[in-house]
Amino acid sequence: MKYKHAFGLAIVMLFVLQTIAIFGEYGTNQIPISNEVVDTVTTPLNLPPVEYEKAGAYEEDPILINHAPNPSFEYVNDLNIPTHWYSDGSGYTVTNSSYQDNVHSGSRAGQLIAEGTSSFGAYASFGRSYGLTCYLTSDLTFESYYYINSLSNPDIGGHFYIGHSIYTGSQWRNIYYFLFYPSSYHPSNSTNTLIFLLDTTTSTWNNLTRNITDDYESYYGAAPGSAYVSYTNWIIYSPVNADVPISIIIDDNSVTDAGSTEYVFDGGFELGGVSWGSYKTSPSTIHSSLDSTDGLLSANISINAVDENSDGYAYLQRYFGYPQGLYAERPDSMYLEFDWKYDDSWNGAGQMAYAYLFMQNNTYTKEVAILLGSDLDSYSVSNSSYSSWIISESHGSRGVWHHESIDVAELWQVFNIADMTITHVSFYCNIGSHSNSSITLLVDNVKILTYPTADPGFEVDFYWSSAYPVGSWSSYYNAYPYVNHTTDSLNGRYAANFTTWGGSSIIAGLSRETNLQVGLGLFTDMWWRLDTMGSESQCYVEIMMAINDWTYELHYVLAGGSSFFNSSNIVYYIVENHSETGQWFNLVRNIYADLTEAFGESEWKIHYIYLAAKNGPGETVSVLFDDVHFIQDTHAPTLTQILTFPTNPMYYESVLVNIEATDITGVSGSLWYYNGVSWNAVSLTSMGGHFEALIPPIPYGTDVLYYFNLTDPVGNWAIYDNSGLYYSYVIDDDIDPIVTITSPRDEDIIVGLITLSASAYDPDSGSSGVHHLEIWVNGEYSGSFTGDHFEFTSDSREVENGTYYIEVRAYDNAGNWASDEIVIYIENDRQAPILSMIDINPQQPISGEDVTISLAVTDQTGVKNVTLYYRVPLGIWHELVMDSSGSLYFATIPAQIGTDLVEFYIVAYDVFDQQSTGGTSSSPLSFEIITEIGEPVISSVQLTPAVPVYDQTVSVSAYVTAETTIQSVVLHYKIGEGSWTSIAMILSDNLYIGSIPAASWNTEVNYYIVVIDNADQSVSYGTILSPKSYIVGDMIAPILTVIGPSTLIPIRGNVSFYVSGVDVGSGISIIEMIVNGTTIRSSTVLPTFLVWDTTSLSNGNYTITFILEDNAGNIALISYEYMIANPDIFGSIGEGLSSFMQTYGLFVGALAFMILLVAAKIIVRRRG
């Protein structure tokens, strides 16, 4: 399978902090519709030349398979977590070393809280390592006070214990004191673990006092002089699906020796966490989601920060092993693809979501992370020798699915990565420092695509050990020292050399797990070269595949193996070129066909592939393997010949199409033909050496197009359509048409008009049909009509009286013809129409008035048409067909403007088109027009409302009068810098009214009105160059909201007010905070916090006023009266610090965020 890709990178080097972007896609080649397709792969810049140039068997490329199990996360466990992937994440935890609400003594204690989520349990702990060496021989006594606030789900694993880690000088041993644990917990002690199950009570302080030395020696015997306590842990655990959190308080912790030396510094937490530390983690979940792109489910990775400064993480991970992991040694050999959707709470909590590949070799490790999303779309990442970052092209998108596709080998080239094993692929989420923040990453359709054998050409050479002499493959039987790399390869740098020898038989081999589904078109494409061979009965070389978890075995015997025999679940195939030496041979076998032949129809899966060689005693066998690939039949059948019978078909004949086609897995398909109306399919029938299809009869003249859709059992298909031109033939017709003259009848006498008609038809459906009819008069061609009939009427007066012989010939579309004949006799007479006096009404029209022209017209044989032509002097003639009532004909000349004279003339026709005229175009008749008319008048233009404001439509009304009819009143307006808009004003109650849409505050609106009457006279109110105008106003005050402390309680220190405001008109200009008439704070940005520092003011009553002004000068104000009661400043340092934190907590939080972002990165790497 070929992969097409677009791949771009912007690199983040360690010394230049930049954005990294990577994107790409791949797709399989579609089956071509022509006979040849050239596929090109773009080589990325700076890639060294690749020696591997071999085309696969049958011109198929080696297949890549998905090594990601459960790739679409359709399978989940009882916790609704996707299976086949390792998952981990943080629970809700609090470790507080400055706890003051409940202490055993002093003012502080340590608090631990943990609560598991629906996906993960939660651990919280304090740990203490000892600066002095706490030797067991010093008679060590441990004491701790603890208070259990609440216990969480002991029935499903919740517990609390204190543990000591002891190093004896040669090994580590642990002593655990379980103080809260499941009732079913019955642990066993071991050589390195000693457990004590102790009773405890809740809601009261408990004391644990133990002699560590005695406890150790009670089980392990006398402690060696070198044994010492290294550190102590106080640990709580809340299980998955906990109902409530577990909460523990500890205090007054002590480890002393017989000499009363104290080893626990600040065991009572009195230094407020200086020596104990505090941290929090946020709850996370991983579960399935119905929001998916492939199948029904996707993986949902989510974290929700409950507390401030509470880090969290969650990830899904697939591990592939080392050194037999995955590799990306050449372009197009490995792709990472997945669909993802990112979302977060966008509040600066440091959320990040990314995918990453982890790699290692025997020298160092490397990880490449693809940043998918981050809070506020910001990030600060840099590359190093062990870590590189790229930023997804879709980074910054939220709530939308995206597809990521990466050619991992090209990624290696960009970051100079080589000779490493890809051990695992992970999807990570982190969260940072703010409460009520969240992050969600959905992942679906994960594809980790590479060769089934991962390193088919044995090119990976960075790892060697006697256990794995070819590091990318597992050893099978005795790989060392009989199997190794060799540069004597078919392709690439290396091949695998199998050479067995010695006095006894040795089997040497390599294996790889493949988990390859066997489809109909799966073939081997594997190369071997046999150099030395022993006896056929004692020696063999083979490629073996373990099928369906070793239920079956498929053996391809390349050499020897004469003693092999088949069984019900094992089959041996002796291959072509068996036992031939000295040259490379290609094993190409249809695996599905071989398995089906041996074991019958089933679903097959290759779990492992084995390469093996065996020598006989005292003999040597030497063989090379290279390019151990699988290929899939992706080529469609090939069309080689087409024949049709008959070659010149008539419309009443079927056509037999005969083809020959080949394919490695078989041929079937259909012929598609176009019958002139629609495409239709006919199945191809196998006739042994060829295929046949019958196209039914099709009407004449049809250009019958046809093509072939050929497919194989695998599902590959191709369209053979003559390179888009289609194969074709044309339908013919050899049958004459039939014709009849239907009017006039034979031997008719004709006077005046004559109607001649004839019709013809071509017999049988599907025939070519009548193309045209020809008329022959007295043996001479007279004319023709297209189609199968005609009828026309002509004036027989145009010819001389006499006898006429008429013949009509009918031709079909194929050129066949037939005829019919008659004889007629013509006798004619004629006279032109008679016109009466012409009447003009009114006789003296005014400008803008219609004029009616009328007269009487008579004719002996009937009047066919009377037409009036009129114009203004020197204008063009306009034509009017006159209406009639009996012999009276009349027509109305529309009102003429701008002229004092109209010219006209009349032409009358009889049924034989003989004409009489009243006037002519060169000597027309005429009448005069009175033209003095006054212009229209515009008065009383009003705007409603008179003073327009924003968001209000403005109605413009005008009173208009005219001596003639008003033709149009048009309002033209322009809003701000926009373009002019024109609308027709509507007449309503003697006023013309139009509307101008609402506009924003402070916008200038220009307008003018144009009136045109029927005399084409126009007047205007304003013009486009000097329009009327108005400015849109804002008379509404803004809305002000202030949230602050109660006025009923005295205030002190820094007092914060949350101020917000809205002005939908002119917008907010400024907010001022005024104390006793003096402005102390202002802001132009809302919402905002305004802080009143009262520490410099005398105690007493103060009036604080907030004034919000909009850009139009409207204001809103609120006043409050507060009493200030500040304490003595030197006695309130702690309170001042608290006030400072309240006031500037956002800034401090942001600084903490920057630090925690780096810390979270280190923690996640350590956990991953």
Residues 84-98 pLDDT 10s: 999 999 999 999 999
pLDDT range class, residue 830, cuts 50, 70, 90: low
Pairing of strands 685-686, 679-683: unpaired
| Domain 1039-1126 listed as CATH 2.60.40.10 | yes
Domain boundaries 91-281, CATH class: mainly beta
CATH superfamily of 638-730: Immunoglobulins (2.60.40.10)
Q: What is the CA radius of gyration of the chain?
A: 50
| Reported confidence tier of residue 444, pLDDT bands at 50, 70, 90 | very high
Task: Determine the longest span between alpha carbons in the chain, in angstroms.
Answer: 157
Distance CA(895)–CA(842), nearest Å, equals 12
Q: What's residue 1064's pLDDT? A: 86
Supply the pLDDT for residue 24.
28
Q: Which residue has the tokens 């990112």?
A: 342
Letter for the amino acid at 203?
Answer: S
* Residues contacting 725, CB < 8 A, separation 6+: none
Residue 449 clears pLDDT 50, i.e. is over it: yes
In sequence order, the β-bridge partners of residue 485 are: 496
Over residues 1072-1089, mean pLDDT: 92
Task: Determine the residue type at 208.
Answer: L
If you average pLDDT over residues 824-829, what whole number do you get? 82
Give the residue among 488, 472, 490, 489 at the shortest CA–CA distance from 609: 472
DSSP characters over 779-792: TEEEEEEESSEEEE
Q: The tokens of 615 are what?
A: 């020598």
Q: Where are the domain boundaries for CATH 2.60.40.10 in the chain?
A: 638-730, 738-826, 834-927, 937-1031, 1039-1126
Q: To 5 degrees, how large is the angle CA 554–CA 711–CA 35?
A: 110
Nearest CA to 73 out of 240, 372, 285, 294 is that of 294
The count of C-alpha atoms lying within 13 angstroms of the C-alpha of 1043, restricted to the half-sphere facing its C-beta, is 6
Local confidence band at 227 (pLDDT 50, 70, 90 cut-offs): very high
Could you give the residue range(s) of every CATH 2.60.120.260 domain in the chain?
A: 66-88+285-450
Please report the pLDDT score of residue 865 as a whole number.
93
CA pair distance 1047, 915, nearest whole angstrom:
107
Contact 710, 640 (CB under 8 A): no
- Using a 10 angstrom Cβ sphere, with 0-12 exposed, 13-18 middle and 19 or more buried, the burial of residue 331 is buried
Pick the CATH number of 937-1031 from 2.40.50.140, 1.20.950.20, 2.40.160.40, 2.60.40.10: 2.60.40.10
- If one counts every other C-beta atom within 10 angstroms of the C-beta of residue 847, the result is 19
The pLDDT tens digits of the residues spanning 768-786 come to 989 999 999 999 999 999 9
Q: Look at residue 1159 in the predicted model and tell me its pLDDT.
A: 25
Query: Taking Cα atoms as reference points, which of 115, 62, 63 lies closest to residue 92?
Result: 115
Q: Identify whether the C-beta of residue 126 lies closer than 8 Å to the C-beta of residue 138.
A: no
Sign of the Cα pseudo-torsion (217, 220, 221, 226, in order): negative
Region at 55 (left for phi over 0; alpha for psi -120 to 50; beta for the rest): beta
- Write down the pLDDT at residue 394: 96
Angle at 654 between CA 649 and CA 659, to 5 degrees: 90
How far apart CA 793 and CA 52 sit, in angstroms, is 85
Phi, psi of 1036 (to 5 degrees): -105, 130
Q: Is 876 exposed, middle or buried (0-12, 13-18, 19+ CB in 10 A)?
A: exposed
**What whole-number distance in Å separates Cα of residue 554 and Cα of residue 531?**
24
CA dist., res. 99 & res. 112, Å (int): 10
Angle at 901 between CA 897 and CA 907, to 5 degrees: 105
Residues 6+ apart with CB under 8 A from 316: 82, 85, 86, 87, 286, 299, 301, 426, 427, 443
Alpha carbons 739 and 784: distance in angstroms, whole number: 14
Of the CA atoms within 13 Å of residue 1162, those in its CB half-sphere come to 5
Q: Which percentage of the chain shows pLDDT scores above 70?
A: 91
Q: Which three-class secondary structure state does DSSP give residue 599? A: helix
The fold of 66-88+285-450 is: Jelly Rolls (2.60.120)
pLDDT at residue 56 in the model: 64
In this structure, are residues 236 and 115 in contact, taking their beta carbons and an 8 Å threshold?
no
Taking only the tens place, the pLDDT of each residue in 885-914 is 999 999 999 988 888 899 999 999 987 788
Multiple choice CATH, 834-927, 2.40.170.20, 2.60.40.10, 1.20.1250.30, 3.40.50.1860: 2.60.40.10
Q: How far apart are CA 430 and CA 355, in angstroms?
A: 12
Q: Is the pLDDT of residue 1156 over 50?
A: no
Per residue in 243-280, pLDDT tens?
Answer: 899 999 999 999 999 888 899 989 999 997 778 888 89
pLDDT of 18 above 70: no
**Tokens (6 digits) for 177:** 């004191």
Q: Are strands 8-9 and 21-23 parallel, antiparallel or unpaired?
A: antiparallel
> How confident is the model over 24-78, as pLDDT tens digits?
222 222 222 233 222 222 222 222 333 334 446 778 889 999 999 999 999 999 9
> pLDDT-derived band of residue 378, with 50, 70 and 90 as boundaries?
confident
CA 302 to CA 319: how far, in whole Å? 21
- d(C-alpha 337, C-alpha 25), whole Å: 8
Model pLDDT for residues 453-470, shown as the tens digit of each residue: 999 999 999 899 999 999
CATH hierarchy code of domain 738-826: 2.60.40.10
Find the angle CA(387)-CA(374)-CA(95) to the nearest 5 degrees.
85
**What pLDDT does 923 receive?**
93
What does the angle CA 486 – CA 491 – CA 492 come to, to the nearest 5 degrees?
Answer: 70
Which of 266, 259, 229, 410 is closest to 332 using CA atoms?
Answer: 410
**Is 1101 in contact with 1122 (CB distance < 8 Å)?**
yes
DSSP state, residue 1157 = H
> In this structure, what DSSP letter does residue 549 have?
T
On the question of pLDDT at 748 being above 60, the answer is yes
pTM of the predicted model as reported, rounded to 2 decimal places: 0.60
CATH class (in words) of the domain with range 474-632 = mainly beta
